[in-house]
Amino acid sequence: MLGKLLQRELLRHWRCRQDLINPILFFVITVSLFPLAVTPDNELLGQISSGIIWVAALLAAMLSLESMYRDDYNDGTLELLLLQSGSPYLVVLAKIISHWLTTGLPLVLVSPLLAVMMQVRPDAMGALMLSLLIGTAVLSLLGSVGMGLTVGLRQGGVLLSLLVLPLYIPILIFGASAVSAASMGLDYNGQLLFMCAYFLGSLSLVPFASVAAIKVSIR
């Protein structure tokens, strides 16, 4: 069941390829502009690079949240899926996984190229990719709740940001901290363990919360 739902979601995303490209372009352009706007100094860029990359990744993930439920809600497919699938939990889980595969994973794969441009030390590349791998999954999970609550609103973008940003801040802090610690040759396992715990807690609770949020929106 989950496999068929996931296949449907990936096909839906593929048909709207511009929605897949926009977050990646936003991520690349935002990070690329910082050396021009701030300074081309390699040492300074190396000090602020982790925060810049993580903030850009967070904003890119938020930019793509509308694609998670909006189209299916507008044409009535979302309500039919929840009613006829027999498992609303699997419907939401498939949407979250597909969102991460089409948004979070590409950001992770692009990040090493941007890290080289931002003078991230080679020994911190692993920490950057690993923190983004975990962090973007959490962003997709938490974003699904906010999107579920605002999917029925025509102008829900600002409210969505207000709902999810406070939940995103811990991931932003610990993700950037892990990369900074790796750049200084320090241990960053503590930050990654916190992110893993945050991910597992979100994975166990968020899909149920998202189902409840969507049901409130479609009534």
Beta carbons of 53 and 31 less than 8 angstroms apart:
yes
**DSSP summary character for residue 86:** S
Alpha helices per DSSP H over the chain: 2-15, 17-37, 42-63, 66-74, 77-84, 88-99, 105-117, 125-150, 157-183, 189-218
Amino acid at residue number 173: I
Residue 171, burial from CB neighbour count under 10 angstroms (0-12, 13-18, 19+): buried
3-state DSSP assignment of residue 216: helix
Cβ-contact 115, 125 below 8 angstroms: yes
Segment-wise mean pLDDT, segments of 10 residues, the chain, 219 residues: 75 75 89 79 76 90 82 76 78 89 91 87 89 94 88 72 87 92 89 94 91 80
| pLDDT for position 219 | 67
Distance CA 43, CA 39 (A): 10
Say what the pTM is. Answer: 0.88
Task: Kindly state the tokens that stand for 31.
Answer: 């990070």
